[in-house]
Every structure is written in structure tokens, then in C-alpha cells.
Amino acid sequence: IRNPISTLCVGQAASMASLLLAAGEKGQRRSLPNSRIMLHQPSGGFQGQASDIRIHAEEITRLSKRLNQIYAKHTGQPENLIGSCCGQSFLIDSTVPLPVLTDEQLMLDYCVLFAGICRFINAHWLAKQLP
């Protein structure tokens, strides 16, 4: 039996928490209007011999590709788009107006590609929930 999972960001979903948020059931991924979601590449600090550093760098690259695959699976976006969005740390918030989008253009449930970054738009959902 597969149960739908609802996810809700309250405050901030940073790093791996953003992946958990994205893994919620389509249509059930929510965020409060003033919440922020941060996506970024894996990172780490390494030292030692060049061969050891190369091994760690290859592992970080492999992990980055795998995370892009997971985000792509749950958001329906191509891996190269996810990779470009996660190329540097960036925050997704509700500062950009929501345009009309098709399902194919959605990342999370209300995320739009705008000026090379994705922004999570959800204030209208919360407004519908309040009396």
C-alpha cells in the first residue's frame, strides 16, 4: 500500500531538507509564505595527498549527479535544469509573482524558472487556508 506523503516547510528547508520537501506527493508539497528553501551542491572539506583529494572530489561529483537525479524524479524537471539551479547555493522564496504554468514547467508544486533561478511560490495556498 502506497500512502501519499504531505510535506510542509515552516521557516526553512535547507540542504537535505529541501530534498525531503520535494519528495512529498505532487500537490501535497507546501510551504508557508515567509519560509525559505535552499538548494545547493554537496560540499566538503578535504586535505591530504592529491590522490586522496581526487577520490573525494570524484565522490562529491557522483553524489551531486545522484541528488540531481532524485530531484528530477520528484519534480519532473530535467537533470540539467536541476544541475544549473543547484550549481550555486540559492534560496527559493515567495518574492516573485506566480505566472501561469503548465505541469511540465513546475518544480516542486509552485516553482518557476526566472532569471536562471527557481523560486517557490505559495502565498496563495496559505491565503486559501485562512478564514
In tens, the pLDDT along 33-90 reads: 778 888 888 888 889 999 999 999 999 999 999 998 998 888 777 888 778 777 767 6
Whether 60 maps to a domain, the answer reads yes
Whether 81 maps to a domain, the answer reads yes
Mention every residue, 6+ apart, whose C-beta is less than 8 A from residue 69: 79
pTM: 0.67
Residue 31: domain span: 7-129
Residue 104 confidence (pLDDT): 40
Q: Which of 6, 15, 64, 74 is catalytic?
A: 15
Active site (annotated) includes residue 15: yes
Active site (annotated) includes residue 40: yes
Whether 2 maps to a domain, the answer reads no
Element (H, E) at 30: strand 29-31
CA dihedral 99, 102, 107, 109 (to 10 degrees): 80
Total tally of structural domains belonging to the chain: 1
What is the CATH classification number for the domain harbouring 89? 3.90.226.10
Backbone φ and ψ for 35, nearest 5 degrees, come out as -80, 155
Nearest to 49 by CA among 57, 59, 37, 61: 57
Q: Which of 40, 56, 64, 84 is catalytic?
A: 40
SS3 content of the chain, % helix, strand, coil (to 5): 40, 20, 45
Side-chain-facing half-sphere of 116: CA atoms under 13 Å:
5
